């Protein structure tokens, strides 16, 4: 048994006993940092009558190196909530619909390019009338992807010709870890079994190369460098089932399908776009930065439902966005002071919140009067409460696949949650209370892996101080707590 001591600057010393027992703790103490602001700060000092309502999109989707949210300057009112099939509110950028393509920025289509829809669950694209053009979910969630680890040893460059070892075709039945994977003219590659290929550099299919799969086989392809399918080449056009091929673009180089080539797959490319050049065709699902379609190219979106890591259907309900709004934030400069110590602008101190595990195994912290610094720091300034403050906390958890792990957060004002620096809860604005849920099985996390969480809360409402956090993950608190500088004690 070990004991650690956390000092609460507000006047108490808290002793936490951590037991080696396999039983989950009934209480978890999470240390964080509170920063107090005067009510004449340009972003604070609101009251209930001046509430602007729920605003999304005022912070960037990814945390910068500083570890603090960045003001985007391009938020918008949420007129109606984006919901899961169970009617739980979700961050708008997490929305997944069978008919909507998640992109960071809008696609560009040549006048002779086209996009339509089809349903792979009822057969191949050529055996059904094409559907209407898909929608584009601009600013959509970009999943965090990584190469398989551990994996087999790297064998260097891997090249295939139209005949290998005297065989009329090249059969790949085992995993490959290489630098560059390339083919020569007129090469046929057959995937037999569940195969993973990891390319530390490029993946290049040259003139008239075709990759097919035997029935029941799958291919997972990870590429760090350039992905290029060119000059009449194809991947998985027989039997054209997108779910059997998954392509993960780990790098930042635009993916290229060009010169009358075709690919049928599910592609995740969070940091790069997809380019379809002259006469090229893509069949399946794509999540990435953007899509560029040149002359006579076709993008054929598969409208089969998205599924999470446990094969559960994801069928979200679209909300609606209103006018652009900055939620009362003056500028990026003023927003930067919310979660940073700035002499003369804020005062900071440590604060610890307590999670209590209920009978359902859910840890909860709930308060409808969260005013932890009344009469402290800058004081109440003549108001009923010291209500102009922010709170942040860092912690971790181990993801357990298919255990229905979740975070459910809400508050009277801003609430932001980042997992591995990616925004998953987005509640901006001064309001009378709003909540959002993130289901971890849909984020593409790795089973058994540890993930860092950063939580940010702001109270700018003079009379309301609601905060609600619940989760069924066992929070792992940091070993050491950031200490407020002497200038702010």
Tally Cβ neighbours within 10 Å of residue 78. Answer: 25
Contact 16, 354 (CB under 8 A): no
User: Residue 294 — φ and ψ, nearest 5°?
Assistant: -95, -170
| Residue 105 to residue 62: CA distance in whole angstroms | 15
CA 101 from centroid of its chain's CA atoms: 15
Q: Which residues contact 135 (CB under 8 A, 6 or more apart)?
A: 97, 99, 100, 101
Nearest alpha-carbon partner for 197 in 231, 169, 167, 227:
227
CA pair distance 91, 77, nearest whole angstrom = 13
CA distance 306 to 312: 8
Q: Which residues contact 420 (CB under 8 A, 6 or more apart)?
A: 144, 451, 452
What is the rounded distance in angstroms from the CA atom of residue 385 to the CA atom of residue 379? 8
How confident is the model over 45-81, as pLDDT tens digits? 766 445 578 999 999 999 999 999 999 988 999 999 9
Q: Mean pLDDT per 10-residue run, the chain (489 residues)? A: 32 40 87 96 72 88 93 91 96 92 95 95 92 92 86 96 67 97 94 97 96 96 98 92 96 97 97 96 97 97 93 93 90 96 96 97 96 96 94 97 97 93 94 90 92 95 88 86 46
- Within 10 Å of residue 129's Cβ, how many Cβ atoms? 6
3-state class (DSSP) for residue 444 = coil
- Going by their DSSP bridges, the two strands 363-367 and 346-357 should be labelled as antiparallel
Alpha-carbon gap, residue 410 to 434, rounded angstroms: 5
Contact 55, 75 (CB under 8 A): yes
Cα gap 102→138, rounded to integer Å: 6
Q: What is the DSSP letter of 42?
A: T
Q: Where are the beta strands (DSSP E) in 181-254?
A: 181-183, 188-191, 194-199, 203-205, 210-213, 218-223, 227-230, 234-235, 245-249
pLDDT in tens, 398-448: 999 999 999 999 988 899 999 999 999 999 998 877 999 999 999 989 899
- The two structure tokens encoding residue 253: 């180089």
Strand partners, 196: 220
* Residue 157 confidence (pLDDT): 98
Sort residue 355 into left (φ over 0), alpha (ψ -120 to 50) or beta: beta
Domain ranges of the chain: 27-93+320-488, 99-304
Name the DSSP letter for residue 344. Answer: T
Contact between residue 417 and residue 409 where contact means Cβ atoms under 8 Å apart:
yes
Distance of CA 401 to the CA centre of its chain: 16
Please report the pLDDT score of residue 168 as a whole number.
61
- State the first-to-last Cα distance of the chain, in angstroms, to the nearest integer: 32
pLDDT the model gives residue 5:
30
DSSP state of 133: P
The DSSP output letter for 138 is E
Residue with the two structure tokens 């700060």: 41
Distance, in Å, from the CA atom of 415 to the CA atom of 370, rounded to the nearest integer, reads: 14
Tokens of 339: 């979660």
- CA 398 to chain centroid, in Å, comes to 17
Return the structure tokens found at 73.
């300057």
pLDDT given at position 51: 58
Strand 203-205 and strand 227-230: the pairing is: parallel
β-partners of residue 283 are 264, 300
| Phi-psi category of residue 260: left, alpha or beta, with phi > 0 → left and psi -120 to 50 → alpha | left
Tally of CB atoms within 10 A around 69: 25
pTM given for the model: 0.84
Task: Compute the distance between CA of residue 293 and CA of residue 275 in angstroms, rounded to an integer.
Answer: 6
Give yes or no for a cis peptide into 239 (omega within 30° of 0). Answer: yes
What backbone phi and psi angles, to 5 degrees, belong to 347? -125, 140
Q: Alpha-carbon torsion 366, 368, 370, 375, what sign?
A: negative
């Amino acid at each position: 048994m070990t004991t650690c001591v956390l000092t609460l600057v507000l006047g108490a010393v808290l002793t936490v006993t951590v037991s080696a027992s396999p039983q989950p703790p009934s209480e978890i103490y999470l240390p964080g940092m509170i920063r107090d602001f005067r009510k004449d700060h340009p972003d604070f000092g609101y009251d209930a009558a001046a509430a602007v309502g729920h605003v999304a999109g005022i912070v960037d989707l990814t945390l910068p190196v500083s570890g603090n949210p960045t003001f985007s300057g391009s938020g918008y009112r949420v007129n109606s909530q984006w919901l899961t099939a169970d009617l739980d509110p979700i961050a708008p950028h997490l929305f997944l619909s069978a008919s909507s393509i998640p992109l960071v920025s809008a696609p560009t289509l040549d006048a002779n390019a086209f996009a339509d829809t089809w349903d792979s669950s009822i057969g191949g694209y050529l055996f059904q009338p094409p559907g209407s053009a898909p929608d584009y979910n601009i600013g959509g969630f970009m999943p965090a992807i990584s190469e398989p680890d551990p994996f087999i040893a790297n064998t260097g460059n891997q090249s295939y010709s139209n005949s290998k070892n005297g065989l009329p075709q090249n059969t790949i039945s085992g995993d490959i870890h290489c630098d560059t994977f390339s083919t020569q003219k007129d090469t046929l590659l057959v995937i037999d079994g569940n195969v993973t290929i990891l390319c530390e550099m490029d993946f290049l299919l040259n003139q008239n190369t075709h990759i097919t799969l035997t029935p029941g086989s799958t291919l997972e392809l990870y590429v760090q460098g350039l992905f290029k399918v060119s000059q009449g080449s194809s991947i998985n056009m027989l039997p054209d089932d997108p779910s059997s091929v998954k392509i993960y673009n780990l790098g930042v180089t635009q993916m290229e399908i060009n010169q009358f080539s075709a690919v049928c797959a599910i592609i995740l490319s969070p940091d790069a776009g997809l380019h379809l050049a002259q006469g090229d065709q893509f069949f399946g699902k794509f999540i990435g930065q953007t899509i560029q379609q040149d002359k006579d190219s076709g993008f054929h979106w598969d409208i089969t439902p998205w599924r999470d890591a446990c094969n559960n259907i994801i069928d979200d309900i679209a909300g609606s966005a209103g006018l652009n709004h900055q939620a009362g934030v003056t500028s990026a400069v003023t927003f930067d002071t919310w979660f940073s110590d700035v002499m003369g602008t804020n005062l900071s101190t440590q604060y610890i919140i307590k999670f209590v595990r209920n009978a359902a195994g859910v840890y909860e912290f709930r308060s409808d009067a969260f005013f932890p610094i009344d009469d402290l720091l800058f004081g109440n300034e003549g108001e009923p409460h010291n209500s102009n403050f922010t709170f942040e906390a860092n912690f971790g958890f181990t993801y357990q696949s298919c255990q229905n792990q979740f975070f459910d957060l809400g508050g009277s004002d801003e609430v932001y949650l980042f997992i591995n620096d990616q925004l998953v809860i987005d509640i901006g604005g001064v309001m009378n209370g709003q909540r959002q849920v993130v289901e971890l099985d849909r984020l593409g996390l790795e089973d058994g892996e540890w993930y860092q969480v950063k939580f940010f809360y702001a109270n700018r409402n003079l009379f309301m101080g609601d905060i609600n956090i619940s989760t069924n993950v066992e929070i792992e608190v940091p070993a050491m707590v950031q200490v407020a500088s002497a200038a702010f004690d």
